């Protein structure tokens, strides 16, 4: 990945205009993701968000109803991405886990800073629960998941769902942001210009959180939540060469200490973003297979 970016003379996303960064991010993901898997049924729709209609895409692996369901939040630092960003991942998980995958579009920063994304994602989870019959979803077997900022949103939504009495069966957290301005070894050490680095992290946080004081809010930093007990079981995936590695692993350790069943896997040799690169990285395929296996074990039992 690093060699490819160097060979292209690629400008870091944080040095591009917003429009350029959004286009480049999607192009990179599509190039590394390989050919999209065919799925039995893929449907684009909308759902009523807190400030208007928002896009949502549903991936149904079979005609069976109701199906266990994964609500998956795409990554992109709350700044980049959309439902197309996670298309390859959602297709693979729907097929391999045998579950309905629902990926909502949420409002992006800096146009819509915190708490817009968290509000939209929690609303999306409620929409799935309220419309389970129409969607062919089993409301008793719903998981949340996401990668990077999407992993942050999944962790935050899981905390809010617990506090509101909304049942969740599992969490899939792939290299999640869990703490605003975390001071960790992995953040300091992973400073390669050609990769996701601390400059990237700072840029995303500035876009998402204009008020640094809000960084203490558990809806921003789930690692700072005073109580993590009562959360659903979680699979946490991290990457060795990722600025977010340590905060993701600390969150897994804190959940485990609070009595949550946690499976934690670090993919050595991998960098941030690898989960979406199954078309070019064998470990990305292995991570997707692990995630699908975990979802089968937690949602189908």
Is pLDDT of 225 > 50? yes
- SS3 call for 238: strand
Domain that holds residue 265: 1-300
Q: Residues with catalytic annotation?
A: 148, 242, 272
Question: pTM of the predicted model, to two decimals?
Answer: 0.96
Bond prior to 115 in cis (omega within 30° of 0): yes
Domain count, the chain: 1
Contact 30, 39 (CB under 8 A): no
Choose among 183, 157, 200: nearest CA to 246.
Answer: 183
Residue 56 has pLDDT above 90, yes or no: yes
- Which range (28-42, 130-144, 146-160, 186-200) has the least confidence? 186-200
DSSP strand E in the chain: where?
A: 41-49, 52-60, 67-73, 100-104, 137-147, 170-174, 234-241, 262-271
Percent share of the chain, pLDDT over 90: 91
Answer positive or negative: Cα dihedral of 18, 157, 246, 93. negative
User: Residue 113 is part of a domain; what is its CATH number?
Assistant: 3.40.50.1820
Smallest CA-to-CA distance from 180 within 220, 239, 236 is with 220
pLDDT in tens, 85-95: 999 999 999 99
């Amino acid at each position: 990945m690093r060699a490819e970016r160097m060979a292209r003379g690629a400008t870091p996303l944080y040095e591009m205009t917003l429009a350029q960064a959004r286009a480049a991010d999607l192009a990179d993901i599509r190039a590394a993701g390989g050919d999209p898997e065919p799925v039995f049924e893929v449907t684009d729709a909308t759902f009523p968000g807190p400030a208007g209609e928002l896009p949502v895409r549903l991936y149904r692996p079979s005609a069976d109803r109701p199906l266990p369901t994964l609500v998956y939040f795409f990554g992109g630092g709350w700044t980049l991405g959309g439902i197309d960003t996670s298309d390859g991942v959602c297709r693979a998980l729907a097929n391999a886990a045998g579950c309905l995958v629902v990926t909502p579009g949420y409002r992006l920063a800096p146009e819509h800073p915190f708490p817009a994304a968290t509000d939209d994602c929690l609303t999306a989870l409620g929409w799935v629960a309220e419309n389970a019959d129409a969607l062919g979803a089993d409301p008793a077997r719903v998981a949340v998941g996401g990668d990077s900022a999407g992993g942050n949103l999944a962790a935050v939504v899981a905390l809010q769902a617990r506090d509101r009495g909304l049942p969740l069966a599992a969490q899939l957290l792939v290299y999640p942001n869990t703490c605003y301005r975390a001071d960790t070894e992995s953040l300091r050490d992973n400073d390669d210009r050609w990769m996701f680095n601390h400059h990237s992290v700072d840029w995303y946080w500035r876009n998402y959180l204009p008020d640094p004081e809000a960084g203490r809010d558990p809806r921003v930093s789930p690692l700072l939540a005073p109580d993590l007990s009562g959360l659903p079981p979680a699979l946490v995936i991290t990457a060795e060469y990722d600025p977010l590695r340590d905060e993701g692993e600390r969150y897994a350790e804190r959940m485990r200490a609070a009595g949550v069943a946690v499976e934690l896997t670090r993919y050595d040799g991998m960098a941030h973003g690898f989960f979406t690169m199954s078309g070019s990285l064998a470990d990305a395929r292995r991570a997707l297979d692990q995630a699908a296996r975990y979802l089968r074990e937690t949602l189908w039992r």
